[in-house]
Chains A and B, each alone.
Chain A
Amino acid sequence: MSEDPTVPLPEMNDNSEEDVLLNRWAEQDYEFGFVSNIDQEIVPKGLNEEVIRWISARKEEPLWLLDWRLKAYRHWLNMTTPQWAHLEIPAIDFQNISYYAAPKAATKLNSLDELDPEIKSTYDKLGIPLEEQLILAGVAVDAVLDSVSVVTTYKEKLAEKGIIFCSFSEAVREHPELVKNHLGKVVPYTDNYYAALNSAVFSDGSFVYIPKGVRCPMELSTYFRINAAGTGQFERTLIVADDEAYVSYLEGCTAPKRDENQLHAAVVELVALNRSEIRYATVQNWYPGDANGIGGIYNFVTKRGLCQGISSKISWTQVETGSAITWKYPSVVLQGDCSTGEFYSVALAARAQQADTGTKMIHIGKDTTSRIVSKGISAGRGQNAYRGLVKVRESATNVRNYSQCDSLLMGDRCGAHTYPYFEINSPDAQVEHEATTSKIEEDLLYYCQQRGLSTEEAIALIVNGYAKEVLDKLPMEFAVEARKLLAISLEGSVG
Chain B
Amino acid sequence: MLEITDLHASVDDKAILKGLNLQIRPGEVHAIMGPNGSGKSTLSHVLAGRPGYEVRGSIQFNKRNLLDLVPEERAWAGLFLAFQYPVEIPGVSNANFMRSALNQVRCQRGLPVLEASDFLKLIREKAALVQLDPSFLSRPVNMGFSGGEKKRNEIFQMAMLDPKLAILDETDSGLDIDALRIVAEGVTKLRREDNSFLVITHYQRLLDHLKPDIVHVLIDGKIMRTGDYTLALELEEKGYDWLKAETV
Is B104 within 8 A of A461, CB to CB? no
In the bound complex, residues from chain A placing their C-beta under 8 Å from that of B105 are 451-452
In the bound complex, residues from chain B placing their C-beta under 8 Å from that of A422 are none
Q: Does A465 lie at the interface of the complex (its beta carbon under 8 Å from any beta carbon of B)?
A: yes
Q: Does A432 lie at the interface of the complex (its beta carbon under 8 Å from any beta carbon of B)?
A: no
Give the B interface residue count (CB, 8 A). 31
Contact partner of B87 (CB less than 8 A), chosen from A443, A461, A468, is A443
Complex alpha-carbon distance, A447 and B154, angstroms: 11
Q: Does A61 lie at the interface of the complex (its beta carbon under 8 Å from any beta carbon of B)?
A: no
In the bound complex, residues from chain B placing their C-beta under 8 Å from that of A442 are 51-52
Is B92 within 8 A of A462, CB to CB? yes
Give the A interface residue count (CB, 8 A). 26
Kindly provide the distance from the CB of A405 to the nearest chain B CB, expressed in whole angstroms: 15
Interface centre among A16, A441, A442, A446 (most CB of B within 10 A): A446
In the bound complex, residues from chain A placing their C-beta under 8 Å from that of B70 are 449
Contact partner of B90 (CB less than 8 A), chosen from A16, A451, A457, A465, is A465
Complex alpha-carbon distance, A466 and B89, angstroms: 9
Is B75 within 8 A of A469, CB to CB? no
In the bound complex, residues from chain B placing their C-beta under 8 Å from that of A454 are 72, 104
- With both beta carbons as reference points, the residue of chain A lying nearest to B45 in the complex is identified as A446
Q: Does B101 lie at the interface of the complex (its beta carbon under 8 Å from any beta carbon of A)?
A: yes
Complex alpha-carbon distance, A461 and B99, angstroms: 11
Complex alpha-carbon distance, A215 and B86, angstroms: 47
Is A450 within 8 A of B90, CB to CB? no
Is A461 within 8 A of B97, CB to CB? yes
In the bound complex, residues from chain B placing their C-beta under 8 Å from that of A461 are 89, 92, 96-97, 100
- With both beta carbons as reference points, the residue of chain A lying nearest to B90 in the complex is identified as A465
Q: Does A134 lie at the interface of the complex (its beta carbon under 8 Å from any beta carbon of B)?
A: no
Is A451 within 8 A of B97, CB to CB? yes
Is B104 within 8 A of A465, CB to CB? no
Complex alpha-carbon distance, A462 and B88, angstroms: 10
In the bound complex, residues from chain A placing their C-beta under 8 Å from that of B180 are none
Is A464 within 8 A of B108, CB to CB? no
Contact partner of A465 (CB less than 8 A), chosen from B76, B89, B102, is B89
In the bound complex, residues from chain A placing their C-beta under 8 Å from that of B104 are 452-454, 457
Kindly provide the distance from the CB of A330 to the nearest chain B CB, expressed in whole angstroms: 23
Interface residues of B in 42-94 (CB under 8 A from A): 48-52, 70-72, 74-76, 80-81, 83, 86-87, 89-92
- With A446-B50, A447-B83, A465-B140: A453-B91 Cβ-Cβ less than 8 Å: no
Complex alpha-carbon distance, A457 and B107, angstroms: 14
Is B89 within 8 A of A450, CB to CB? no
Interface residues of A in 7-26 (CB under 8 A from B): 16-18
Complex alpha-carbon distance, A364 and B121, angstroms: 53
Is A444 within 8 A of B91, CB to CB? no
Q: Does B161 lie at the interface of the complex (its beta carbon under 8 Å from any beta carbon of A)?
A: yes
Interface centre among B80, B101, B105, B157 (most CB of A within 10 A): B101
Is A450 within 8 A of B75, CB to CB? yes
Is B140 within 8 A of A450, CB to CB? no
Contact partner of B101 (CB less than 8 A), chosen from A444, A446, A453, A466, is A453
Is A464 within 8 A of B92, CB to CB? yes
Complex alpha-carbon distance, A443 and B161, angstroms: 20
- With A465-B140, A467-B91: A447-B86 Cβ-Cβ less than 8 Å: yes
Kindly provide the distance from the CB of B119 to the nearest chain A CB, expressed in whole angstroms: 15
Is A466 within 8 A of B157, CB to CB? no
Interface residues of A in 444-495 (CB under 8 A from B): 444, 446-455, 457, 461-462, 464-469
Kindly provide the distance from the CB of B49 to the nearest chain A CB, expressed in whole angstroms: 8
- With A18-B51, A446-B71, A461-B97: A452-B89 Cβ-Cβ less than 8 Å: no
In the bound complex, residues from chain A placing their C-beta under 8 Å from that of B102 are 452
Is A452 within 8 A of B91, CB to CB? no
User: Could you list 21 A-B pairs, sorted by A, with CB under 8 Å?
Assistant: A442-B52, A444-B89, A446-B50, A446-B51, A446-B71, A447-B89, A448-B89, A448-B101, A449-B49, A449-B70, A450-B80, A450-B81, A452-B72, A452-B75, A452-B104, A452-B161, A461-B96, A464-B92, A465-B90, A465-B92, A466-B91
Chain B residues near A (Cβ < 8 Å):
48-52, 70-72, 74-76, 80-81, 83, 86-87, 89-92, 96-97, 100-102, 104-105, 108, 140, 157, 161
* Beyond A449-B75, A465-B92, A468-B90, 17 extra complex contacts between A and B, CB < 8 Å: A441-B87, A446-B51, A448-B101, A450-B49, A450-B71, A450-B74, A450-B80, A450-B81, A451-B157, A452-B75, A453-B72, A453-B100, A461-B96, A461-B97, A462-B89, A465-B89, A465-B91
Closest 10 CB pairs of A and B: A465-B91, A468-B91, A465-B92, A449-B71, A452-B75, A452-B105, A451-B101, A449-B72, A447-B87, A452-B104
